[in-house]
Structure 1
């Protein structure tokens, strides 16, 4: 039975040092899944037990090693971080499952997402004008199977709205430059925390 979505805690309510809780939790979950010893975690703060949705990104030597996540909050944020950390390490279909030897070599980033909202756009020019580069994460849906998202950090390599959406369309399996019938866009914001590069 699928859990009903819940309203996530407001991003601004998260403490600035939330990464001190979320990043070790992600690393411990990956270590446990791969049989790598990890330090015990302390009692989680109340905010980490509120519903939350996140994406977990792994990089190795500056290159993407995996990225998966949740768009709708349906479990405690801390649990969402732990589940998505393991899914990113072992189940991102673009990469081979991570090995125990890689655990100390990857850098973990956790992005906590706000609830998404519909973007008022019925054409690509309207979407270009409505998007906020550097701020909005974007979800595109068209039909039953074509769906994809880009986190706000994807504006860094793709700063122009037209180019950003062209790549998002391709990720969703849509022909770029065409507003397909039934296309829906939603946007969200995110706050991110990242480990310092180098072995943990």
Structure 2
């Protein structure tokens, strides 16, 4: 099922997750200036890539970026056109610097989300960019610990896995049980698979910001 009005995240065949429980520490929120820099970076990347098929050169600005943007975070980039989802791909776990993750996932969201055709340069002016910077993951043992409106959630059972960012359930108007049912469907499982033995649950929070925010 495709939820075109949400920041739905593309489900992969395998989501690498920590083997041990990881506590979510209080995530230091990005400053307004850092958010503006990341959104500008994503916008410039989108414009450059859709026109040239290549990413912009950053050699002249990398040294001037704030240190936090060079740290590793999980990050997703969501593209919306007229309020409708146009692409969303990201990294669950920290795998590269935050600024590089924004570049990579802007490109992937615009060209490699299989649910949509690649973004055309003519569309760029109609697209709004949203960035979600993820906290560390925490493994939970009871889905009742999943807090709608606060947490993003990942489920995994065998080779099947799927993820929703924290804003998805809110945008769709879902409660906890309904969110978990849709997440199971997204993973290719039965709607009630989240009630079965062997299901793994991971939660996380996200610092979500988008173009047009008054940060």
- Flag whether TM exceeds 0.5 (same fold): yes
- Whether 1:58 aligns to 2:79 is yes
- Contact 1:9–1:51 (8 Å) recurs in 2: no
Q: Which residue of 2 aligns with 1:162?
A: 177
Q: Residue 72 of structure 2 aligns to a residue in which SS?
A: coil
Structure 1: distance between partners of 2:32 and 2:182: 32
The offset of 1:10, in angstroms, is 6.1
Q: Residue 33 of structure 1 aligns to a residue in which SS?
A: helix
The offset of 1:180, in angstroms, is 3.8
Q: Which sections of structure 2, spanning at least 5 residues, go unmatched?
A: 1-17
Q: Residue 169 of structure 1 aligns to a residue in which SS?
A: helix
Equivalent residue in structure 1 for 2:51, among 9, 31, 35: 35
The offset of 1:35, in angstroms, is 2.1
- TM-score scaled by structure 2? 0.78
Q: Which residue of 2 aligns with 1:124?
A: none
- Contact 2:77–2:105 (8 Å) recurs in 1: yes
- Contact 1:11–1:112 (8 Å) recurs in 2: no
The offset of 1:31, in angstroms, is 1.8
The offset of 1:110, in angstroms, is 0.2
Q: Residue 69 of structure 1 aligns to a residue in which SS?
A: strand
Q: Residue 167 of structure 1 aligns to a residue in which SS?
A: helix
Q: Which residue of 1 aligns with 2:99?
A: 78
> Which region of structure 1 is more displaced relative to structure 2, 101-110 or 177-186?
177-186
Q: Structure 1 residues 10 and 31 mapped into 2: Cα distance closer, same or farther (>3 Å)?
A: farther
Q: Which residue of 1 aligns with 2:12?
A: none
Q: Which residue of 2 aligns with 1:107?
A: 128
What's the CA shift string for 1:139-184, capped at 9, x where partnerless?
Answer: 001112x111000001211331011101111111110113344210
Q: Structure 1 residues 195 and 9 mapped into 2: Cα distance closer, same or farther (>3 Å)?
A: farther
* Cα-Cα RMSD: 2.6
Structure 2: distance between partners of 1:109 and 1:9: 23
- Whether 1:46 aligns to 2:46 is no
What's the CA shift string for 1:46-70, capped at 9, x where partnerless?
Answer: 1100111111111011111011111
Structure 2 counterparts to residues 8-27 of structure 1, below 5 A? 11-27=27-43
Q: Which residue of 2 aligns with 1:134?
A: 149
Q: Residue 89 of structure 1 aligns to a residue in which SS?
A: helix
Q: Which residue of 1 aligns with 2:186?
A: 171
